[in-house]
Amino acid sequence: MAILKVNNLNKNFGKVKAVQEVSFEATEGKVLSLLGPSGCGKTTTLRCIAGFENPDQGEIYLDDKKITYIPPEQRGIGMVFQNYALWPHMTVYGNLAFGLQIRKVPKPEISKRIKRVLSIVQLEGFEDRFPRQMSGGQQQRIAMARALVFEPGIMLLDEPLSNLDAQLREEMRFEFIELQKKLGITAVYVTHDQAEALVISHKILILDQGKKIQLGTPKEIYANPKNKFVAGFIAVTSFIDGSVDSFTEEKKKVMVKTNDGLIIQGFNSNLSVGQKVSVAMRMNVIKFIQDENKMQKNKVNIFKGKIIQSSYLGNIIDYKIKVGNWEVRTNSDAKYDFKVGEEVTFYLSPHDIIITSEK
């Protein structure tokens, strides 16, 4: 059941097309992430849902009620801001009570609800603190509590963790998952951090230059990025560009040929012969072969290259290898100790690499 439906959303700022024909649905009780680089339109999309921007075209439905142009205060949507946006002149109690006072909730009920929400975000007894008396992580939780306390139908989060330091950010990811599960609230979560999106989302919508690129579960997007852009955004570090040469075994396997004569085999049945594609590799897919005789029966996807850079990272070594005209990167076990300039032979398993459309 869709609780939030965004239909053909368009928003321009002057000549800049911030959002173009974006449509998606957020399912009840699930987290949908809007993921993309800065300027991809994710925040604008979120602000349209919140009501801070009026879309130029398109509709937004919340529980089948059209909310496209109604003012933000009438939408009943909770919002968590990147900089928390806690009101500095009010205590935690004042911050949390504000929305309830507007709704004319009786005073004892307000205190009760604030107590409950503070226990949910694990900040019991913080009622009398001012925002400036709290750490970034605590402020973040209060911001979350403020968006939850009036029991909104849906919660919007605009890069809520990006102001925290790396370690705290990772902890807060899991806290957010717990909280979301416990309350079963529907959430739309904007982030530019792919790791964060993979961890917290049920579904991810990838945006680029205001356009929807791919919508899918974290697994789908990680395993089958729709194109080079998505792959590059989801932890792919090396690309070899080429075009589809042929298919084998009833379109199961695809042969990619590059302009410098490399032939790479992989899997992707949605391509057509001649299509421009990219072979995408993550940091761990390259397998070095030290004894070439061992690999005799499997001669595909074996390449020779030259180490052009090596960075020692303790348990692993980060190599940059030149293959034909391409440079690929890999993390290898520290037991392979190659020197810069050394010739290496490596194997790319067709199952590990991703063949994806270039555009």
Partner 1 sequence: MQKSVFKKTIEIIIFIIFIFFLFAPLLSLGIWSVALRWYWPHTFPQEIGFDYWFQALGITKSLTLGAVNVVPAFWLSLGIAIVVVIITMAIAIPAGYALAKLRIPTFLKGLILILFLMPRAFPQQPVFLNLMLMFNKIGLTGTVLGVIFVHLVVGLVYAVWITASTFRSIPPELEEAARSVGASRLKAFFKVTLPLSAPGLIASAVFVFLTSMDEFTGTFFVGLPFVTTLPMTLYSASGSNIQFASVIAILLLIPSILFMVLIQKFLKAEHIGGMGG
- 73 sits near partner 1 (criterion: CB under 8 A): yes
Q: How far apart are CA 87 and CA 90, in angstroms?
A: 6
Nearest distance in Å: CB 52, partner 1: 6
Which span (36-44, 68-76, 299-307, 345-353) binds partner 1, by CB under 8 A? 68-76
Among 36, 41, 51, 266, binds partner 1 (CB under 8 A): 51
- 78 sits near partner 1 (criterion: CB under 8 A): yes
Nearest distance in Å: CB 94, partner 1: 10
Nearest distance in Å: CB 185, partner 1: 15
- 146 sits near partner 1 (criterion: CB under 8 A): yes
- Tell me the three state secondary structure of residue 30: coil
Q: Between residues 79 and 206, which has the closer beta carbon with respect to partner 1?
A: 79
- 65 sits near partner 1 (criterion: CB under 8 A): no
Determine the residue type at 46: L
Nearest distance in Å: CB 112, partner 1: 18
Element (H or E) spanning 307, and its range? strand 302-312
Among 102, 195, 223, 334, binds partner 1 (CB under 8 A): 102
- 36 sits near partner 1 (criterion: CB under 8 A): no
- 93 sits near partner 1 (criterion: CB under 8 A): no
Q: Nearest 10 degrees: CA dihedral of 106, 110, 116, 119? A: -170
- Dihedral sign for Cα atoms in the order 178, 179, 182, 187: negative
Which span (66-74, 162-170, 175-183, 263-271) binds partner 1, by CB under 8 A? 66-74
Q: Restricting to residues 189-248, name those near partner 1 by CB under 8 A.
A: none
- 131 sits near partner 1 (criterion: CB under 8 A): no
**Residue 64, Cα to own-chain centre: how many angstroms?**
27
Q: Restricting to residues 148-187, name those near partner 1 by CB under 8 A.
A: 150
Number of residues lying near partner 1 (CB under 8 A):
25
With beta carbons less than 8 A apart as the criterion, state whether 33 and 4 touch.
Answer: no
Phi/psi of residue 13, each to 5°? -115, 100
Determine the residue type at 8: N
Among 3, 48, 62, 79, binds partner 1 (CB under 8 A): 79
Among 9, 43, 81, 118, binds partner 1 (CB under 8 A): 81
Among 19, 40, 77, 188, binds partner 1 (CB under 8 A): 77
- 16 sits near partner 1 (criterion: CB under 8 A): no
Tokens of 42: 């994710």
Residue 313 is given by DSSP the state -
Which span (48-56, 219-227, 245-253, 347-355) binds partner 1, by CB under 8 A? 48-56
Which span (61-69, 70-78, 159-167, 176-184) binds partner 1, by CB under 8 A? 70-78
What are the residues facing 257 on neighbouring strands?
243, 263
Greatest pairwise CA separation for the chain in angstroms: 80
253-257, strands of its sheet edge to edge? 263-267, 253-257, 238-248, 276-281, 354-357
Which span (50-58, 163-171, 199-207, 208-216) binds partner 1, by CB under 8 A? 50-58
Rg (the chain; Cα; Å): 25
- 89 sits near partner 1 (criterion: CB under 8 A): yes
Q: Which residue has the tokens 């009780």?
A: 29
**Residue 285, Cα to own-chain centre: how many angstroms?**
22
302-312, strands of its sheet edge to edge? 286-289, 343-348, 302-312, 316-323, 326-333
Element (H or E) spanning 47, and its range? helix 42-50
Contact set with partner 1 (CB under 8 A): 50-52, 71-73, 76-79, 81-83, 85-89, 98-99, 102-103, 146-147, 150
